[in-house]
Amino acid sequence: MIPLAKIALVDCNNFFCSCERVFNPALQGKPIVVLSNNDGCIISRSEEAKGLGIPMGAPLHEQQEVIRKNNVQVFSSNYTLYGDMSARVMSILREEVPAIEVYSIDESFLQLPHNFDEEMARALRSKVLQWTGIPVCIGIASTKLLAKLANRHAKKTKELTGGVFDLTNYWNPEAILADTPTGGLWGVGKNLAQRLEGMHITTALEFKYADPSAIRRSMGVVGERMLRELNGIGCLELEEVPPDRKGVMASRSFGSPMESLEELEEALANHVARAAEKVRRFGLLATGMEVFLRTNRFRKDQPQYSPSIGATLERPTHATAELMTTARTLLQRIYRPGYRYKKTGVQLTNLVSEEEYQPGLFDLLDPAIPGRIDVDKIVDEINRRLGDPKNPVITRASQGTDRRDNLGKAWKMRAERHSPHYTTDWNQLPEAKA
DNA sequence: TCTGGGGTCCTAGGACCC
DNA sequence: TCTGGGGTCCTAGGACCC
């Protein structure tokens, strides 16, 4: 029998709190918490803080009493520090295994050699702790979903297992599944847990033996994939190279709500600048943009309005001023007076690489007429250059859409099908025959 | 009164094409 | 002129993750 692939999930314990402790060892054994960006929520808790009943994600103001009474140390988050610590941990892991996927700032999946056992995992754990000061837990299984589950068990039974648990080597793995509520599975949130409960599925074990077609009907492909992963059939690959970024977002909540368009514009300008800078840093160009507004969702007594709107940009860009023009237009379209806005943000979407971007159809757009593309003109021009009226490259442009990328796709498809002259570079299209 | 930010993937439904 | 099946592509919004 071919042994199943072994996958480990390494997860740093209370990562942000652990980082703070590395730089201030006096905090060992004391209750501490780390706050979100605006110091609004508690996003990391030490074991001692968890013991005090402080929940994950709790608003700080709700916990002030407990914090004061128990002398809990409170930290604003310091992402530079955490990023740096994360890199150190990951580089140690990378040296020990054939392949690694860094899944988040404090977690990574490892591809393990077949002979990798719990002893080796413990040694790895010690090494990370000794070299970086960060304690981790390691779960081992045959699929990513099960590795997550094994890690959860390792964490829960840290005292007993030493923070390492190998599901593939456990005498009764189904007992662990039976002990895991569906909500504890990776990918099952509140909503899906409820839906599963409606099907009388409350544990990972019940999920494992559920009817696949029923799962498919009620949870779609996501559910079916989880079902397979639970049965040891790997559906989720190890992604060593992170896929290209799809979008970049910048948003913030306001300390106090804003009502006027001018205030919102100012806030948005900030976000556009930050997002554009990030895009430049990645060496990318944005071809689309989304802008959104949110009222305070916690104020049920106030009217709610959370619009969002998207647009395709005139041309791919990462220039702040250019982006701001579009952002302002979009904001004006969704802005309604009379609401108390609590948050706004911008997302730059459909990013393309600066290097790979070849100006093509975009050059045919008339910048004097924002948002307008003369489809017929482009079609005629392409056909004219190819010079065969009986067999035009494009017989009809896709109607009812002004999406440039769509047009580009239509062009490409047809060109491939019909033309020996196919090229993605507009400038290389042959001139029309005399 | 105070309650984060930045992501990904999937689906439903509309518009359009052949 | 009417009708249907089989597609693609897009947007908005839901759900989830860390």
Beta strand residue intervals within A350-400, DSSP E: 352-353
Q: For B11, which residue's CA is nearest its C1'?
A: A220
Distance CA(A255)–CA(A259), nearest Å, equals: 13
Residue with tokens 């980082």: A19
In the block, residue with structure tokens 């390494």: A10
- The Cα A252–Cα A229 span in angstroms is 37
Distance measured from the CA of protein residue A65 to the C1' of nucleotide C4, in angstroms: 67
Mapping DSSP to helix (H, G, I), strand (E, B) and coil, where does residue A211 land? Answer: coil
Contact call for residues A139 and A151 (beta carbons, < 8 A): yes
DSSP-derived secondary structure letter, A317: E
List chain C nucleotides near protein: any atom < 7 Å from a Cβ.
Answer: 8-18
Residue-averaged pLDDT of chain A = 85
Q: How far apart are CA A113 and CA A241, in angstroms?
A: 20
**Alpha-carbon span A128 to A59, nearest angstrom:** 32
Instruction: Locate all alpha helices (DSSP H) within A162-245, ordered by sequence.
Output: 173-178, 190-198, 204-208, 212-230
Give the model's confidence band at A244: pLDDT under 50 very low, under 70 low, under 90 confident, else very high.
confident
Q: Is the CB of A189 under 7 A from strand C?
A: yes
Predicted local confidence at residue A414, as pLDDT: 40
Nearest residue (CA) to C1' of B18: A396
Count of positions (residues) in chain A: 434
* Residue found by looking up tokens 């074991």 in the block: A47
In terms of pLDDT, which residue wins out, A393 or A275? Answer: A275
**Least confident window among A4-8, A27-31, A168-172:** A4-8
The pLDDT, as a whole number, for residue A87 is: 97
Residue with minimal CA–C1' distance to B14 is A400
- pLDDT above 70: residue A165: yes
Which pLDDT belongs to residue A394?
A: 56
pLDDT band of A132, cuts 50, 70, 90: very high
Distance CA A61, CA A68 (A): 11
pLDDT band at A427 (very low <50, low <70, confident <90, very high): very low
Instruction: Please report how many Cα atoms fall inside a 13 Å half-sphere around the Cα of residue A385, on the Cβ side.
Output: 17
Least confident of A2-16, A245-259, A271-285, A357-371: A357-371
Each residue's pLDDT tens digit, A202-232: 999 999 999 998 998 888 889 999 999 999 9
**Strands ordered across the beta sheet of A32-35:** A42-45, A32-35, A73-75
Rounded CA–C1' distance between A334 and B14, in angstroms: 21
A367 C-beta less than 7 Å away from strand B = no
Strand A99-104 relative to strand A107-112, pairing: antiparallel
Distance, in Å, from the CA atom of A416 to the CA atom of A426, rounded to the nearest integer, reads 14
- Burial label for A74, CB within 10 Å (0-12, 13-18, 19+), is middle
Closest nucleotide (C1' vs CA) to A349 is: B7
| Confidence at residue A372, expressed as pLDDT on a 0 to 100 scale | 42
Residue A422 has pLDDT above 80, yes or no: no
The A 388-427 residues near strand C by Cβ under 7 Å are 401, 403, 405-406, 409, 413
pLDDT tens across A40-84, in order? 999 999 999 999 999 999 999 999 999 999 999 999 999 999 999
- Which tokens hold the place of A371? 């948002």
What is the pLDDT at residue A305?
86
Q: A180 pLDDT exceeds 80? A: yes
DSSP state of A41: B
Cα gap A177→A231, rounded to integer Å: 11
Q: Is the pTM of this model over 0.85?
A: no
- Å from the A377 CA to the B17 C1': 20
DSSP state of A363: G
Classify residue A346 by its DSSP letter: E
What residue has its CA nearest to the C1' of C11? A310
C18 C1' – A104 CA distance, angstroms?
7
pLDDT higher than threshold 60 for residue A423: no
Q: Which nucleotide is nearest to A409 (CA to C1')?
A: C9
Q: Quote the tokens at residue A131.
A: 């070299």
Work out if A37's Cβ lies within 7 angstroms of strand C.
Answer: no
CA of A326 to C1' of B15 (A): 25
- Distance (Å) from CA A223 to C1' B10? 11
* Two structure tokens written together for A184: 């504890």
Which nucleotide has the shortest C1'-to-CA distance from A407? Answer: C9
In angstroms, how far is C17 C1' from A373 CA? Answer: 39
- Cα separation, A104 vs A109, whole angstroms: 10
A413, closest nucleotide (Cα–C1'): C8
- Which positions of strand B lie within 7 Å of protein CB atoms? 1-12, 15-18
Residue A255 has pLDDT above 80, yes or no: yes
Positions 337-366 in A, CB within 7 angstroms of strand B: 342-343, 345, 347
Helix pair A212-230, A190-198: axis angle to 10 deg? 130
Q: For strand B, which residues in window 371-390 of chain A come within 7 Å by CB?
A: none
